[in-house]
Chain A
Amino acid sequence: MRKTTNQKAWFMVLPMLVLVAFSAIIPLMTVVNYSVQDTFGNNEFFWVGLEWFEEILASERVHDALIRQIIFTLIILAIEVPLGIFVALNMPKKSGLWTTLCLVLIALPLLIPWNVVGTIWQIFGRIDIGLLGYMLDQLGFDYNYTQDATDAWITIIIMDVWHWTSLVVLLCYAGLKSIPDAYYQAAKIDQASRWSIFRYIELPKMKGVLLIAILLRFMDSFMIYTEPFVVTGGGPGNATTFLSIDLVKMAIGQFDLGPAAAFSLIYFLVILLISWVFYTVMVQSDKGAGA
């Protein structure tokens, strides 16, 4: 068969290229541009090569933020994933008013804007006027998230669990709903225990959505900014200064555009790398298990 060559077809991809250029390539290149230059004002820039990258990679302050970030993300995943599965398993399965109500209630936190979530918990936890803070204080607990680092961490973790466990629940619930009744019936016939049903039927069928849930929760929690910024502002001290908060302090607080740009790029690459690893593992394990 003879193929016709028509170079005009390239024009067909032009709108897409323009869109991608404006949405991703140009902004990213601006950051790359900043990351390799320095300025003393007057819009005069000069080349510094990889100096900023070296500085960021060696920076103790960034290391500390990264360690805090990793600990935070691990805690979040360790709580939200099992809790989400547990709640999904206990959701009503038959469709009806009660199920709809449960789903709406579960989904509510997801619909609240992030800074509003932060504000809610910021007020909720205050010991003078907040319901939670005031009650804990009255009950004799020495709770004050503005002064105690542990209290601040606990508050932010509970807030995130409240805000995002729903996502894991909804994804797992969708996975569970797709299991045909025959599987549960077969398990009853085979006298499988509750644990066996979970281990051999529910977990394998949920695997796909669960990996997506873990990936989303990893990325989102690794990039968390708004809620802790509203609640603690990264404090007390630097106790809750996660990567994003540190980055914004550097970029806008100190106006160190060069290092902040280098920081951004490293941050972006770290997330990209870990997500890629997740994705590869997901696809691989799917292949390894057959299909």
Chain B
Amino acid sequence: MAKITLSNLAHSYQKNPETENDYALKTLNHVWEDGAAYALLGPSGCGKTTLLNIISGLLKPSKGQVLFNEQDVTEKKTAERNIAQVFQFPVVYDTMTVYENLAFPLKNRNLKPAYIESRVHEIARIIDAEDILTKKAKELTADIKQKISLGRGLVREDVNAILFDEPLTVIDPHMKWQLRTQLKALHQNLGHTMIYVTHDQTEALTFADKVVVMSMGVVVQIGTPEELFEKPQHTFVGYFIGSPGMNILNADVVGNKAIIGNHEIILNNGYKNLQGKLELGIRPEYVRLTDNPDDLPITINRVEDVGHYKIVRATHQGQDINIILKEETGISENMRYVSFDKARTNIYTDDWLVTP
């Protein structure tokens, strides 16, 4: 088990990267604390897998170092790093039985047969595969194969970290829930450093102590699920986390007033000399629909009832505003205005959060 430090790390798939845009992973400094569970969240192609493969050594970074505890492992091969990784699509050794698959990483390390046997049975119990141990791996369905891959990732006790690269993609929803809960429990029992790559926010938020949000090769925010929700550091985080995401409105900010179109909104804090592209961010959960003509006028386009709440899709002078209402809330003819919860209103310049 180890603390993993990334120091000035960057990676480009091009031979001679010139501009910052040539990098799939832009310069990054980060410490993954020993024993913590992280989720690496971001849309497809944002550099998540690149980062993961650099940590496991499958990819050599163009720049910077990877340190396990204080030891530089940048030049070390995957096999020497003693790390486990589970891939997006199941990888099983077809000709082996399930038992042999699970025992394979241990056998390669020449561990004692008695230990291997007890360990394999233990893992088989965790992934619920005890009754298929003697089956050939080739005969299994994709989701069972993925469970075996997962088991192979967990079978070694002394690994520095366990990396998961969207491991639950091929698993059906109810099993997903079960496995995720098991992984979380496993993390609490074993205390391995775990990094879990996903593009599914629910998966990230339920699994991790800390979520790392990436976009376009940049880490835009690292924080607890609550921090990501309440104080998105970047408009991308606001938009990516939550369903629907944060409302981002073009605004002018002068002192403690935000001007949207020709309407003024009083803010909790005053801001000085803001430059660049100014935006106001407010989560749909914190927008209230009112009938007060002093509030921001809107046009309601449609109301979606998604079960336990309603989403009101509205616009103000061409800018989209989503509002989340409780299921039982009625919408009267006069409710054509919105007000924002001041404490939850954030101001962004050039996509980054401004602290007042």
Contact = CB atoms under 8 A, between A and B. Distances in A.
A253 B78 CA distance: 67
B85 interface: yes
Interface in A175-220: 180, 182-183, 185-186, 188-193, 196, 200-201, 204-205
B58 A188 contact: yes
A189 to B, nearest CB: 5
A24 interface: no
B96 A191 contact: no
B60 to A, nearest CB: 13
A188 B91 contact: no
B79 A188 contact: yes
A216 to B, nearest CB: 24
Nearest to A286: B138
B94 A289 contact: yes
A290 interface: yes
Contacts of B138: 289-291
Contacts of A204: 93-95
Contacts, number: 63
A186 B93 CA distance: 10
Q: How large is the interface on B (under 10, 10 to 19, 20 to 34, 35 or more residues)?
A: 20 to 34
A235 to B, nearest CB: 47
Interface of A: 180, 182-183, 185-186, 188-193, 196, 200-201, 204-205, 289-291
Contact of B95 (A191, A200, A291): A200
A46 B91 CA distance: 68
Contacts of B83: 189
Nearest to B78: A188
B104 interface: yes
B77 interface: yes
Contacts of A205: 94
A45 B149 CA distance: 72
B216 to A, nearest CB: 24
A185 B58 contact: yes
Interface in B39-80: 53, 56-58, 77-79
A189 B84 CA distance: 6
A290 B136 contact: yes
A192 B110 CA distance: 11
Given A200-B95, A290-B136, A185 B108 contact: no
